[in-house]
Every structure is written in structure tokens, then in C-alpha cells.
A and B are shown apart, each in its own frame.
Chain A
Amino acid sequence: KAGVTQTPRYLIKTRGQQVTLSCSPISGHRSVSWYQQTPGQGLQFLFEYFSETQRNKGNFPGRFSGRQFSNSRSEMNVSTLELGDSALYLCASSLQGTNEKLFFGSGTQLSVL
């Protein structure tokens, strides 16, 4: 069974630009959650999608948004990038939700210059 796939693996953007990250969950998993990982703040929950609906949202500004498609694939978008958005963005999938065993992807390393 293929694992959670995140693309691209690395991204370099400049301030003010926007970026879209993609996550393909394990087949059959309907929940996809996103996390931001930085050395200073650690792992922080961004949002969770289940069956194309946002179920939970963390404490991030509205510049961070996401969506989920009918095949459970998810995208995360960050608009008007700031230097502080530089981070590793991790996606995780599970059958029903974040209360279950999460399967994480390798992440997308975003650098904002």
C-alpha cells in the first residue's frame, strides 16, 4: 500500500507570492490533516478535512487555507507569503480522523525569501 505522498518536496518562494501544496492520502483514508513544523514552534495543527469538508481548524491566519477533493486528495494554499511561513509542512491521513493512528508524509519544505 502506498504511503502518504506530498508534492513538491521543496519549494522556494518570495514574500508576497502564494503557494499550493498537495497531499495524496493512503488509499481508503478519508481524513487529511495538515501541520506546520518549525524549530521554534514545533508541530502546529493547521486544519483537518474529512469527506471534502473542513472539520477542524488551528490558530492560523486566513492566509492559510485548504481543500479536499472527492478522491480525498488535499491541497493547502498559503497566500501573501511572509518570511515566517518558512517551515516544513506535513500532511497526515487516517481512516476517520486525527483521533486515530495518523500516517504522515515526508513533508514539503517551504523557504520564503
Chain B
Amino acid sequence: AQSVSQHNHHVILSEAASLELGCNYSYGGTVNLFWYVQYPGQHLQLLLKYFSGDPLVKGIKGFEAEFIKSKFSFNLRKPSVQWSDTAEYFCAVMTRGGADGLTFGKGTHLIIQP
């Protein structure tokens, strides 16, 4: 079964700082990759996803992620964070066959200080 590792459990940044959240997965085959976000008091929602093609994918609210196959990574980035980006971020992986369902990382709690 695949596993997903998010390196930082808690990240604190100031507004306008650049953000990069790490995500690595263990599966050696073809995967579909996702980042989900949960803002305070809200439901989990999809930020962006990668299935194939351009390894640099853009999502909502100025977020992007880069798939690096050789590193089994799918890191999330944003050039300049805002206070409203304070949230829990989850990386998730699904193998193409999908038999194991969607595997989530344990999440990164991001706090943006004004």
C-alpha cells in the first residue's frame, strides 16, 4: 500500500512570505496527486490535482504544485501568502488502479501571522 509523508506538521509564516509544503509518497507506479485544504470552520476542499501532463499544476487562490517523479514528490507552493491562507493542508495520493482508495498525509497546519 502507498503512504504519504508531509514533512512539516506545523508551519508559521508572516504575510507576504513564500510558502513551500513538502509531500512525498511511496508508491512506485503511476499515481494521481492531490492537495486538499481545510480552512477554520469549513469543510475539506480541493486545492489542486495532478493526473498527467505538465508537472506544474495551478490551483485555486494562487497555489501551485510541482510533481517530480524522480523524487516521488508533489510539493505545494505559493509565492506570497496571506493571512487567509491559515488552514490545514493535506496531500493525497491515489494509484491509477485505485484499489487502495485515496491515501492522505497527516496534514500541515499553516499559520500566517499578519
In the assembled complex, the CB of A96 is this many whole angstroms from the nearest CB of chain B, namely 11
Give chain A interface residues in 64-113, CB to chain B under 8 Å: 90, 92, 97-99, 101-106
**Contacts A102-B46, A104-B43, A104-B45; A44 near B104 (Cβ below 8 A):** yes
A20 contacts partner chain B, Cβ-Cβ < 8 Å: no
- Supposing A56-B101, A97-B98, A98-B101 touch, asked if A43 and B43 sit within 8 A by C-beta, the answer is no
Residue in A3, A41, A56 with the greatest tally of chain B CB atoms within 10 Å: A56
Looking at B51, B98, B99, B105, which has the most chain A CB atoms within 10 Å of its CB? B98
Chain B residues, CB < 8 A from A41: 106
Chain B interface size band reads 20 to 34
State the CA gap A101–B103 with chains docked (Å): 14
Chain B residues 76-114 with CB under 8 Å of chain A are 90, 92, 94, 98-107
- The reply on A24 being an interface residue by CB < 8 A is no
Q: Which residues of B contact A45 (CB under 8 A)?
A: 100-104
Measured in the bound complex, the distance between the Cα atoms of B32 and A97 in whole Å is 13
**Contacts known (A42-B107, A48-B101, A59-B1); A99 close to B43, Cβ less than 8 A:** no
A22 is an interface residue with CB less than 8 A from chain B: no
* Bound Cα distance A87, B90 (Å): 17
Contacts of B102 in A (CB 8 A): 33, 45, 98, 102
Roughly how many angstroms separate A21 CA and B105 CA in the complex, as a whole number? 24
Question: Is residue B44 within 8 Å, beta carbon to beta carbon, of the partner chain?
Answer: yes
- Cβ-defined contact, A43 with B90, below 8 A: yes
Q: Are the C-beta atoms of A58 and B100 separated by less than 8 Å?
A: yes
* Chain A residues with CB under 8 A of B92: 43
